[in-house]
Chain A
Amino acid sequence: MEFDGFIEPNSVDLIVLGTGFPESILAAAAANAGRSVLHLDHHDFYGAHWTSLTLPQFRTWAASGGRFDLPPLNPKEQDTDAAGDSQSSDKASPDSSVNQADGKDDKEAHNSSVQDPKEVGGLEALEVEYENDLYSDVQLKEVEGVDLGAARFYNLDLSGPRLSFCGSHLVNLLLRSGANNYVEFKGVDATYLWTGTELSAVPSSRADIFTDKSLSLSDKRFLMRFFRLVMDHANAEGGAIPKETLDSPFVEFMRLQNLPASMQSIILYAIALVDTDQSDESSPCRLTTEDGFRKLTLYLSSVGKFANAPTAFLYPLYGAGELPQAFCRSSAVNGALYVLRRPIKAVLVDKESCEYRGVQTLNGQYLYSKKLIMGPSVVPKRGPEDGLSSLAKEVSQTVEAPSNAASASGEAYSKIARYICVTDKSLFEGQTTLLVIFPPKTISLNQSAVVRAMQLSNAAAVCPDGKYLLQLSTLCSNAADGQEILKAAVDILLTRPREEKSVPAETSEKLSSSEPKILWSVSFKQALQTDSKKLARLGIAVCDLPNGALDCESVLTATEKIFTDFFPDTEFFKKVAPPPEEFEELEDEVEALALEEQKTTSESTAKPEPAKEGNLEQQKVEGEAVSEAEEKPKPVEADSTS
């Protein structure tokens, strides 16, 4: 049967709106637990705010001032959103016209199911819209006459830089959900910390500390002793450190342990990855010792976990947008139904109990479920005439507590400044995948939050061979211009004295040509979580926006909480049985005999075929996205950890 735009079945356990990272995990977790799941996204790509875009996609996005064009709307609504419609033709999506036609077809063929919400017994339709002004100050700079290589080879993260710890809960979940079959990782080669005068390598293992010539003998001792203390605490039954110490600020604790300031800085910003200045005693978001220990333990257990990952961090091949996709695939394998380009118009709630009952799609279909999970951009429709503004107010009382991460980021920060550029050279010769941390006040005195920069390359399959991507981000308030600080950080990275600088001053011209040049850049700001506009009812949960953290752990914590609230007695990803030998390899790192090694590594680099047992309809709907993903080039030096 030709796809007619109507979704069958129209009643499921859970509807998920938006394919962002937390939404996809929740869909996968519910499907994994045997619930029937319908996963809709109004975009024509996966990942929502967590996606990775190609160069042309990014250009389009930037040209529209950081808005995602909604797919063509129902003809009835077209006049209300003229701008979005006119821009949607730019996409030249062959499907768009079909979709529009489908909409008409739906209306005629299934007239009965497109009832006025008032006529549906006891239900009230709360009209919603998609917030599209999360991004601001978008500035895109093209450089004339520069060859950027094949545009489709680029995968630019909208929420970058973003990494995960090798030993993180995320990696654990990937394994448990089976989503590890659909994503591969590149280990980060090295981490550097900007001290204000130089980039110093962050030691990540005992061997690093031993070989690092920049650390003094006593620094080595302090650092190792501190690591030991942390691991002893983690291994001791009930912990080895008293509670009041654990509640004290981590900075104070480190000071008491006689850690030199340089080491404190490394531990806070490059290992515990805090976002804001910790030396300020009045700051409300100082890391507690307990949290600091947790982060350090995670870091230490991450180092050396995978043979191919030299540091504690992993980056997904083809961009961070692969992560939500991988979870979507695993949930499709477990029977979830996927439909892209399917916006909704209203949320249906019970008039009496105010409980959630279902949604109405923009093309008029009513879909029912017990629970609803929404991405952050679905908001109650504004405007005086629909009479819902009062609802929007009362809603805020029932809103889920915002994630730890959002609060940890502090009230002072309402936005994240992000910056992406393409360069022609690596910052460090011989290293492709790098993380650079600029602790607060190391770039300028008004730098109050940490700036993080990540260099990626063809090795992570995010740009063509010979090009390098730099992604930077920092938290900023509305007033302070985070972009200025990011620009300064990029300058430091690009113009910092090279090691190969042994030539005298007169050849400085030649020297400057050895610095990496910016070939393309974009900078923008993303709003942080805003609670006030959320639509919440019993049976509805709203997921987070990307936050300022480097890793995904805080988002995962909030996500897991949503799941346990919705499905109290259900395990968050019960272990599916992945191919056993692969699993062992990851878990125990059973090392093959020297002589067998070659054989096993050639096996492990072969990526397992994604299972194609998903719903047929879903296959068709995401057909385009899938084929596009498969077009992407294979990475040159794709290190695999799965």
Chain B
Amino acid sequence: MHGRKRFPVGQTPDKSKDQAKREKLKKLLSETLQNHHDRCYTKEALQKNAQLLELNPEFYTGWNYRKLAVRHLFDVETDETVRKTILDQELQLVERALQSNVKSYGAWYHRKWVIEFGLSSLDHEFMLLKKLLKVDSRNFHGWNYRRFAIKKKGTTAEEELDYATEKINENFSNYSAWHYRSTLLSSVIRDKKSKEEILDEEYKLVNQAYFTEPDDQSAWFYNTWLLGETNSRSDAGPHVVGSWPENGSIISVNIQDGAFPLTVSYKTIVNSEQTFTTGALPLVITLDKMVSSLAATVRVEPEIGNPSETTWRPLSAVRVPSKTWVADLPISSSSEGKYTVFLEVSSPTVGEVTSVSFNLEITSGDPGSRKETDRETFSWPGKSASAGELEADTTAKLERLDICGPTAEAGCTQDTTELKRANWQEKLLEAQIEILRDLLELERNSKWPLLTLARVLAAHGSTSFTDEVLELYKLLSDINPDHGDYYKAQYSCLYIDKVTRSADGLKKLWWDCQGSLSSGWLRWNGLGLHEFKYVERLLWVQRLDLSHNRLRTLNGLEALQLLEALDVSHNKLPSVTSLASLRAVRSLQYLNISHNEIGSHPVDTSRYSFPSALTNEVRDHLGERDGSWEIQAVFGGMKLKVLAITGNTAASDEQFRKSILKALPSLKLLDEEEV
């Protein structure tokens, strides 16, 4: 129970009483077990068992014994009234048992079991619940049981909503009641119109709560749910949010001497070149939701070579469903010329077709410029970046970076597919922004209104708010340093969202290490990132610096099919399996995973907290019974030339290094040492 005074520890009842109780329990316990064993369901035996359960309702064997007994008695008694009396006795016993422990799972479960026979009055159950939730309004057993009873009775959500209102009015610091309200409303909201009205009313209610007590979290949590409801798109998607090659871009493919590899030149914020050894151009589609199959066609005008069926492969770590899908466009030397490629993706739910088209030029012979990515010319972006100090002006630091190269014409992946929000949603959000600003006038530097305002502004999505939201998160990490990491991560996400929206913004994150445009890096280092977002805007990236963040997983990176160098040093990657998504990045040659936490955790939690295909099946398939199977599974298919692992606990393990070398025969440099 909540808000109760704890009794002083010293005040335990005298020991003789305790002893007597213990003896009694022992005796009842052995008798019950004996009766259970003998299948003895006499009245006397049941009474003994009842005594035991009243004293100790946690003894679940006792409840199971009673269930068997009731079944047994029902075999004998077919008369309904007699059966009802038997069940009523069970219900009474549960009531008595709950008096000794109101949170006994066994007792509540037994009650449900009895009610399921459908012979008992539900009104009595509601009366009991009313009392229980009055005494302890946040008892989750009570709320669970209420849900059960409502379902049995067939009460509609609308009717039940009044009960939630009543409980909230009694005391609005009641997560249970607010949560109950949100679940009920989810089933009440049927159409757009009702949703608009309901949400408006709910905002009014929750506003009252946090104006009364802005430090009370329960109302803010409910507000967060409301915000999610308000901001949800009516058309559920999925929608295409990104592609490579992007819509309207020009891709030049040079086939050298009538054979592979292909050199692909394209232009984003800089001119880029990438070499593919497979003889096919990868086509990538990114959606805003995971789908288990992608209905998309590839059409090339004029036809290229022999038309063949393109198959789309999912790219998520767990295969399907996936947000990112890839297909190969085969290119042969005989297909010199200019083409237009159309990708048509039809959404399974909405039925609309998104089409992406790009121009493709295929040439052969001398490519003009050749990209040299040997180890002589390759270098990591450097250790100049210190670990994410938010106030050390991420902006300033990044703006300092030298931006060179021509202005991008095609621009980066513009998030033009962002869907329009309905007018009423905008109106609701704007009203809430007003109200939160009013509250902040009264409660300066109060963390919940600040955080919620930041969230509502971000949800509103107008770019004019972005700087304000960034300021809010900065302020929050100052006034509430305990949750500083969270605020920093939010700040960084938003910052990245802001800068990756435009080519000019992206250039701020562009760092050219050797004066050669094509060997430039996109640097997202020192931003306190917890997760990798906005991957759909970066499908063109070849060198990515994510060092000095707080990443625990690399999920999402699989979409970067052009990636050749990745720096994820100084993060919190806990295991080899957390790198699993890199297996799909076939172009990756340079990887820096130094100074992470690989080998520091005895249990690989990333396999539980993030979806991963690395199940035991994989291990069995590999036939590796020792600790290195993960290394084989993750690195096995990669063609890495350079790998840095120093600074991980596992790096000092000779066996680990050996396994890596075994899994990566292509490796030339391991931690700066020639292999």
Question: B-contacting residues of A (Cβ < 8 Å)?
Answer: 206-207, 209-211, 217-218, 220-222, 224-225, 588, 591-597
Q: Is the CB–CB distance between B442 and A596 below 8 Å?
A: no
- Taking the closest CB of chain A, its distance from the CB of B565, in whole angstroms, is 54
Given contacts A218-B211, A594-B128, contact A210 B442 (CB under 8 A): no
Question: Can you list the 7 inter-chain pairs with the closest CB atoms, starting with the nearest?
Answer: A594-B131, A594-B132, A217-B211, A594-B135, A220-B211, A210-B212, A220-B212
Separation of A220 and B172 alpha carbons in the complex (Å): 14
Q: Which of B5, B95, B213, B438 contacts A218 (CB 8 A)?
A: B438
Chain B residues with CB under 8 Å of A210's CB are 169, 172, 208-209, 212-213
Q: Is the CB–CB distance between B171 and A207 below 8 Å?
A: yes
Separation of A594 and B137 alpha carbons in the complex (Å): 11
Q: Mark B203-226, 1 if CB is under 8 A from A, else 0.
A: 000011101111000000000000
Q: Is the CB–CB distance between B442 and A218 below 8 Å?
A: yes
Chain B residues with CB under 8 Å of A207's CB are 169-172
Q: Is the CB–CB distance between A211 and B208 below 8 Å?
A: yes
Question: A-contacting residues of B (Cβ < 8 Å)?
Answer: 5, 95-96, 98-99, 102, 128, 131-132, 134-136, 169-172, 207-209, 211-214, 435, 438-439, 442-443
Q: A217-B438, A595-B132 are in contact. List 18 more A-B contacts (CB 8 A).
A: A207-B169, A207-B171, A210-B169, A210-B172, A210-B209, A220-B212, A221-B214, A221-B439, A221-B442, A224-B212, A224-B213, A593-B135, A594-B134, A595-B95, A595-B96, A595-B98, A596-B99, A597-B131
Q: Is the CB–CB distance between B212 and A595 below 8 Å?
A: no
Separation of A210 and B174 alpha carbons in the complex (Å): 13
Chain B residues with CB under 8 Å of A593's CB are 98-99, 102, 135
Separation of A217 and B212 alpha carbons in the complex (Å): 8
Q: Is the CB–CB distance between B131 and A588 below 8 Å?
A: no
Q: Which of B99, B135, B207 contacts A217 (CB 8 A)?
A: B207
Residue with the highest number of chain A CB atoms closer than 10 Å, among B208, B214, B439, B443: B208
Q: Is the CB–CB distance between B443 and A221 below 8 Å?
A: yes
Separation of A586 and B591 alpha carbons in the complex (Å): 71
Please list 30 pairs of residues, one from A and one from B, whose beta carbons are closer than 8 Å in the complex, sorted by A's number: A206-B171, A206-B212, A207-B169, A207-B170, A209-B212, A210-B169, A210-B212, A210-B213, A217-B208, A217-B435, A220-B212, A221-B212, A221-B439, A221-B442, A221-B443, A222-B442, A225-B442, A592-B135, A593-B98, A593-B102, A593-B135, A594-B128, A594-B134, A594-B136, A595-B98, A595-B99, A595-B128, A595-B131, A596-B99, A597-B135
Chain B residues with CB under 8 Å of A588's CB are 5
Separation of A588 and B208 alpha carbons in the complex (Å): 30
Closest A residue, CB atoms, query B442 = A221
Chain A residues with CB under 8 Å of B135's CB are 591-594, 597
Separation of A192 and B439 alpha carbons in the complex (Å): 27
Residue with the highest number of chain B CB atoms closer than 10 Å, among A211, A224, A591: A211
- Taking the closest CB of chain A, its distance from the CB of B209, in whole angstroms, is 6
Dominant secondary structure at the A interface = helix
Chain A residues with CB under 8 Å of B102's CB are 593-594
Chain A residues with CB under 8 Å of B128's CB are 594-595
Separation of A135 and B131 alpha carbons in the complex (Å): 51
Chain B residues with CB under 8 Å of A224's CB are 211-213
- Taking the closest CB of chain A, its distance from the CB of B431, in whole angstroms, is 12
Separation of A209 and B435 alpha carbons in the complex (Å): 18
Residue with the highest number of chain A CB atoms closer than 10 Å, among B169, B170, B211, B435: B211
Chain A residues with CB under 8 Å of B95's CB are 595
Closest A residue, CB atoms, query B102 = A593
Chain A residues with CB under 8 Å of B169's CB are 207, 210-211
Separation of A574 and B134 alpha carbons in the complex (Å): 36
Chain A residues with CB under 8 Å of B170's CB are 207
Separation of A593 and B97 alpha carbons in the complex (Å): 12
Closest B residue, CB atoms, query A223 = B212
Closest B residue, CB atoms, query A597 = B131
- Taking the closest CB of chain B, its distance from the CB of A69, in whole angstroms, is 53
Separation of A28 and B443 alpha carbons in the complex (Å): 51
Chain A residues with CB under 8 Å of B212's CB are 206, 209-210, 220-221, 224
Closest A residue, CB atoms, query B439 = A221
Chain B residues with CB under 8 Å of A221's CB are 211-212, 214, 439, 442-443
- Taking the closest CB of chain B, its distance from the CB of A585, in whole angstroms, is 14
Separation of A217 and B95 alpha carbons in the complex (Å): 43
- Taking the closest CB of chain A, its distance from the CB of B166, in whole angstroms, is 10
Chain A residues with CB under 8 Å of B438's CB are 217-218
Q: Is the CB–CB distance between A206 and B442 below 8 Å?
A: no
- Taking the closest CB of chain B, its distance from the CB of A319, in whole angstroms, is 32
Closest B residue, CB atoms, query A224 = B212
Separation of A222 and B211 alpha carbons in the complex (Å): 9
- Taking the closest CB of chain B, its distance from the CB of A594, in whole angstroms, is 4
Separation of A592 and B438 alpha carbons in the complex (Å): 43
Closest B residue, CB atoms, query A213 = B208
- Taking the closest CB of chain B, its distance from the CB of A292, in whole angstroms, is 22
Closest A residue, CB atoms, query B169 = A211
Separation of A217 and B439 alpha carbons in the complex (Å): 8
- Taking the closest CB of chain B, its distance from the CB of A222, in whole angstroms, is 7
- Taking the closest CB of chain A, its distance from the CB of B434, in whole angstroms, is 11
Separation of A593 and B139 alpha carbons in the complex (Å): 12
Separation of A596 and B214 alpha carbons in the complex (Å): 36
Separation of A161 and B445 alpha carbons in the complex (Å): 46
Chain A residues with CB under 8 Å of B96's CB are 595
Closest B residue, CB atoms, query A258 = B442
Separation of A247 and B70 alpha carbons in the complex (Å): 74
Separation of A307 and B245 alpha carbons in the complex (Å): 70
Closest A residue, CB atoms, query B4 = A591
Separation of A477 and B539 alpha carbons in the complex (Å): 88
Chain B residues with CB under 8 Å of A209's CB are 212
Chain A residues with CB under 8 Å of B209's CB are 210
Residue with the highest number of chain B CB atoms closer than 10 Å, among A217, A593, A594: A594
- Taking the closest CB of chain B, its distance from the CB of A469, in whole angstroms, is 31
Closest A residue, CB atoms, query B219 = A210
Chain B residues with CB under 8 Å of A206's CB are 171-172, 212-213
Separation of A588 and B442 alpha carbons in the complex (Å): 36
- Taking the closest CB of chain A, its distance from the CB of B497, in whole angstroms, is 31
Separation of A220 and B435 alpha carbons in the complex (Å): 13
- Taking the closest CB of chain A, its distance from the CB of B177, in whole angstroms, is 12
- Taking the closest CB of chain B, its distance from the CB of A191, in whole angstroms, is 18
Separation of A220 and B204 alpha carbons in the complex (Å): 13
- Taking the closest CB of chain A, its distance from the CB of B81, in whole angstroms, is 25
Chain B residues with CB under 8 Å of A220's CB are 208, 211-212
Chain B residues with CB under 8 Å of A595's CB are 95-96, 98-99, 128, 131-132
Chain A residues with CB under 8 Å of B134's CB are 594
Chain A residues with CB under 8 Å of B99's CB are 593, 595-596
Separation of A239 and B439 alpha carbons in the complex (Å): 28
Separation of A224 and B211 alpha carbons in the complex (Å): 9
- Taking the closest CB of chain A, its distance from the CB of B136, in whole angstroms, is 8
Separation of A44 and B413 alpha carbons in the complex (Å): 98
Separation of A188 and B18 alpha carbons in the complex (Å): 45
Chain A residues with CB under 8 Å of B439's CB are 217, 221
Separation of A438 and B131 alpha carbons in the complex (Å): 39
Chain A residues with CB under 8 Å of B171's CB are 206-207
- Taking the closest CB of chain B, its distance from the CB of A602, in whole angstroms, is 14
Separation of A272 and B83 alpha carbons in the complex (Å): 62
Closest B residue, CB atoms, query A216 = B211
Separation of A218 and B443 alpha carbons in the complex (Å): 10
Closest B residue, CB atoms, query A203 = B212
Separation of A220 and B438 alpha carbons in the complex (Å): 12
Closest B residue, CB atoms, query A593 = B99
Chain B residues with CB under 8 Å of A222's CB are 442
- Taking the closest CB of chain B, its distance from the CB of A567, in whole angstroms, is 35
Separation of A476 and B46 alpha carbons in the complex (Å): 76
Chain A residues with CB under 8 Å of B214's CB are 221
Chain B residues with CB under 8 Å of A594's CB are 102, 128, 131-132, 134-136
- Taking the closest CB of chain A, its distance from the CB of B385, in whole angstroms, is 44
- Taking the closest CB of chain A, its distance from the CB of B342, in whole angstroms, is 54
Separation of A596 and B169 alpha carbons in the complex (Å): 25
Separation of A210 and B102 alpha carbons in the complex (Å): 30
- Taking the closest CB of chain B, its distance from the CB of A208, in whole angstroms, is 9
